[in-house]
Amino acid sequence: MSDSKEVVKGGEGMERHLGLSTAIALGVGTTIGSGIFTSVGAVAGAAGTPLLTILAFLIGGLIMIPQNLIYAEYSTAYSEDGGQFVYFREAGWPFMAMFFVWSCWWASDPVGIAIMGLTVANYLAFFTGWSSVTVSVVACLLIIFFTWLHMCHKHAGAKWQNFITAFKVVPFLLLVLAGLFFINGGNLEAAPVSSSAAAHGGILAAMIAGIAATTWSYDGMQTCVTMGGEVKNPKKNMPIALIGTVFVVTLLYVLLSVSAVGLVDIDTLAASDAPVAEAFSHIPGIGSQAGNIAAILAVIVVTGSLSSLIMFQARGEMKAAQEGYWWRSWGKIDPKYDSPVISMLWQSGFALVLVWATSIQDLVAIFTFICLLRNALLFCAWFPLQKKSNYHPTFKAPGGPVMAILAIVPSLILMFGELSGIISGEVPLFSFNPISAGILVVISAVPFYLHWKKVNADIIEAAEARRNAEIKEEVAEEATVEQ
C-alpha cells in the first residue's frame, strides 16, 4: 500500500488545499486593507457625530450578515472555484455570469492589485523619500513577487496568507484597545460636524450617509467563495469562514471607531487625511511617532490585502474560460504548479500596466454603481436557484426569502444614492459619471458574450453536458438513499 495521502480534488481538478484558517484569512485579509485608514474620517464626516459614526460602522457590519449568510448557502450548494460566476450560471443567467467576471476584470481586480501595490510602495516611501518612479518600480516588484508565490508555490502562499493576516490584525487590535483606555469623554459629546446632515437635524440622512461611507471598508468579506473549489470540507468550512469573517471585521471596526472618536474631536477626525494616525497620536507615549506607527501598520495591512487579491482573483476568469465565456487559454490549470498560471499572469500583467497609469483611484469610483447592481442581482438569483434540481445546500440561510431580501435592499438603497444625481438632473447622463460608465461596461460586454457563445459553443455544450450528468447522478443517489 502507498503511504502517500489521498489528494482531494475540487470542481476544477485542483487540490482542495485550503483549510478553515486560510478561508477566514482570505476574507479578513482582503477586507481589512487600505480603505480603513481613510474611511474612519470619511464616515465621521458623513455621519456627523461620534455616536452616529460608531453606529454607522456597527450597522454597516450588521447589514453584511444577510449577504454572507446567502453566500454561505450558495457555497455549500456549489463548492466550485469562480464563486459568483457559478451562482449566476446555475440561476440560468449566463450573460450575468460572464458580465460579473467582465466587470471585475475592467473595474476592480487588476485595478485593485495596482492600487494595493502602489499603496504599500507609497507608505514605504514615507520612510525612504523615494521618487514617484521608484514607488512605481517597487509596486511592480511587489506584484511580481506575490504572483510568483501564489502561482508557483501555492501551499507556501496559503501559509503566508495565514501569517500576514494574523500579523496585521493583532497589532492593529492592540493599538485600538490601547486607545480605549485613553478616551476623552468630552469628545463623545461633541457637536455635529457642520457640513453633515446631523448638524441640521437630519439624523436619518446622516445615518444613511455614514453607513454608505463604510461600504468599501467592508468589501471583500466573501472572498473565499471565489476559491470554493480549493477549500477543504466546504460544506462545513465555508459557512464558518463567511460568518466568522463578518464578526471579526465588524468587531475590529466598531472598536476602532469607538477609539477614534473618543481620542480626537469629531471635526478634526473628519478633516484629517490620516485619521488613524491622528487618533493614535493622542495615545500617551506615542504622540509624534503616530505617523511612523500608522505607516508601518499600513505597510503590513495592505501587503496582506495585495497578497490576498493576487491569490484569489484570477479564479473568476479561469472559471469563465472553462465554461466557454472567456478566452480559452485562461482556463488551463498548470499540471506542475496546480494553479491557473495563464489567468494569473494576465491579471497581474494588466495590473503592472495600471501601476503606471494616472488616477487609478478614479477608475474604482467610476464602477461603484455597476458593482452595486451586480451584487443586488446576485442575491436576486436566490429565488430561481430554489427551483434547481441540483440546488442542495447543506447550510440554509435562516428566514429564506426574508434574508435574501435583506441582502438585496442595502445595495438598492446605495444604488439609489448613486442615481440621485441623474434623477435630479444635477449630473448629465451623457457625461463621465458612474452611471454612464456602468452602461458602457454593460454594452461592451454584449458583443464579447455573443462572440464567445459562437466560437466556444463546443466548450459551453460540454460544460452543460457535464453538469447535467452530475445532476442525474445526484438525483439517482438521492433516490437510492430514500429506498
State the CATH number of the domain containing residue 121.
Answer: 1.20.1740.10
On whether residue 218 sits in a domain, the answer given is yes
Of residues 282, 228, 305, the one with CA closest to residue 33: 305
The per-residue pLDDT of the chain, averaged, comes to 85
Q: Exposed e or buried b for every residue in 19-30, given b needs 16+ CB within 10 A?
A: bbbbbbbbbbbb
Place of cell 457559478: 86
As a whole number of angstroms, the longest Cα–Cα distance in the chain is 77
Domain that holds residue 236: 20-391+399-467
pLDDT single digits (tens) 373-419: 888 899 999 999 999 888 999 999 999 999 999 999 888 877 776 66
- Count the domains in the chain: 1
On whether residue 299 sits in a domain, the answer given is yes
pLDDT of 370 above 70: yes
In angstroms, the CA 333 to CA 36 distance is 35
On whether residue 455 sits in a domain, the answer given is yes
Whether the full predicted model's pTM is greater than 0.95, yes or no, is no
pLDDT single digits (tens) 191-213: 888 877 777 778 888 888 888 78
On whether residue 9 sits in a domain, the answer given is no
On whether residue 342 sits in a domain, the answer given is yes
Q: Where does residue 287 fall: left (phi above 0), alpha (psi -120 to 50 degrees), or beta otherwise?
A: left
Query: Which cell numbers in the block locate residue 111?
Result: 485595478
Interacting residues of 137 by C-beta distance below 8 A, sequence separation 6+: none
State the pLDDT at residue 412: 83
On whether residue 317 sits in a domain, the answer given is yes
